[in-house]
């Protein structure tokens, strides 16, 4: 496959779940080719057909294994529970060299998901960087976007903080944020991912406290040029 086609393909590992399916739907709707990755290719094929049905026949969503999806794309998104984060990364690590990796993982520690409990590396995204090594651009994004916003036509009343290992990688991901119909901000280096990851527990707490399901945040008083 040529480089341009690879760049237009997005692999969503764990794309069979709530958040991954929502992001896959949004990117497929924007014209990207999306590979849904799973531990089970059968499960991924089923979810891919559900997205195609939602999009009324768009042919650009394919279900496969996590490894196949990672191999066939230069942009790899991870949407699995934190408990499966390291294991999933280790299982595809050799296929990610020289590529762009986007971590959506929030390091929740059930049952206390309303309490911030970040890992020793600082954040899940920094842990991913340690696991994947210097050859992979690691960007953290979408941790504050509830899946409930993603499948559907409506606007999303929540911004996306994009942090990552280089300005170029963050700029690439900001394009994907926009393609998904969301408003993103370059929020700085990968170390800043602790904020978005920690904020997720705060938003879950607020949801519980006030009877909502998808609290969000917005950056104010900035004029985007
Ligand atoms: N849900 C949200 O609204 C939301 C919002 C922002 C961020 N996030 C973050 O995004 C990530 C995914 O959330 P989600 O709600 O989509 O999760 P989910 O639906 O519970 O799981 C996503 C996928 O992860 C895989 N998975 C589950 N358990 C696994 C295990 N033990 N080992 C390996 N793979 C496993 C499964 O894929 P297969 O069985 O197909 O392999 C599953 O479909 C989490 O880190 C979450 O904190 C979620």
Q: Which residue has the tokens 């341009």?
A: 4
Confidence of residue 215 (pLDDT cuts 50, 70, 90): very high
Q: Give the pLDDT confidence score for residue 1 in this predicted structure.
A: 47
Which one has a higher pLDDT value, 151 or 73? Answer: 73
| Ligand 1 atom closest to residue 47's alpha carbon, by position in its atom list | 40
Q: Whose CA is nearest to atom 29 of ligand 1?
A: 84
Alpha carbon of 102 to those of 105, 140, 153, 164: distances in Å?
9, 6, 24, 9
Q: Whose CA is nearest to atom 47 of ligand 1?
A: 106
Task: Name the pTM for this structure.
Answer: 0.96
| Ligand 1 atom closest to residue 108's alpha carbon, by position in its atom list | 47
pLDDT tens digit sequence for 94-121? 999 999 999 999 999 999 999 999 999 9
List CB contacts of 166: < 8 A, sequence separation 6 or more: 137
Nearest to 34 by CA among 88, 102, 92, 94: 102
Helical segments of the chain, H only = 3-7, 18-29, 41-54, 66-71, 85-92, 124-132, 147-150, 167-179, 193-210
- Indicate if the pLDDT at residue 7 is higher than 60: no
């Amino acid at each position: 496959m040529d480089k341009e086609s690879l760049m237009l393909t997005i692999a969503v590992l764990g794309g069979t779940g709530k958040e991954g399916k929502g992001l896959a739907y949004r990117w497929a709707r924007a014209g990207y080719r999306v590979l849904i990755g799973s531990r089970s290719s059968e499960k991924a094929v089923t979810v891919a057909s559900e997205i195609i049905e939602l999009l009324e026949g768009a042919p650009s969503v394919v279900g496969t294994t996590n490894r196949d999806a990672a191999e066939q794309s230069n942009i790899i998104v991870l949407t699995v529970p934190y408990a499966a984060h390291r294991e999933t990364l280790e299982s595809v690590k050799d296929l990610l060299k020289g590529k762009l990796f986007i971590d959506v993982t929030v390091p929740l520690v059930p049952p206390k998901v309303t309490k911030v409990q970040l890992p020793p590396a600082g954040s899940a995204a920094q842990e991913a960087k340690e696991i994947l090594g210097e050859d992979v651009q690691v960007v953290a994004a979408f941790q504050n976007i509830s899946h409930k916003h993603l499948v559907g036509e409506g606007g999303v009343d929540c911004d996306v903080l994009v942090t990552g290992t280089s300005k170029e990688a963050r700029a690439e991901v900001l394009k994907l944020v926009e393609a998904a119909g969301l408003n993103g901000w370059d929020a700085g280096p990968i170390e800043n991912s602790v904020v978005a990851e920690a904020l997720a527990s705060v938003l879950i707490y607020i949801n519980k406290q006030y009877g909502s399901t998808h609290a969000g945040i917005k950056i104010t008083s900035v004029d985007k040029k």
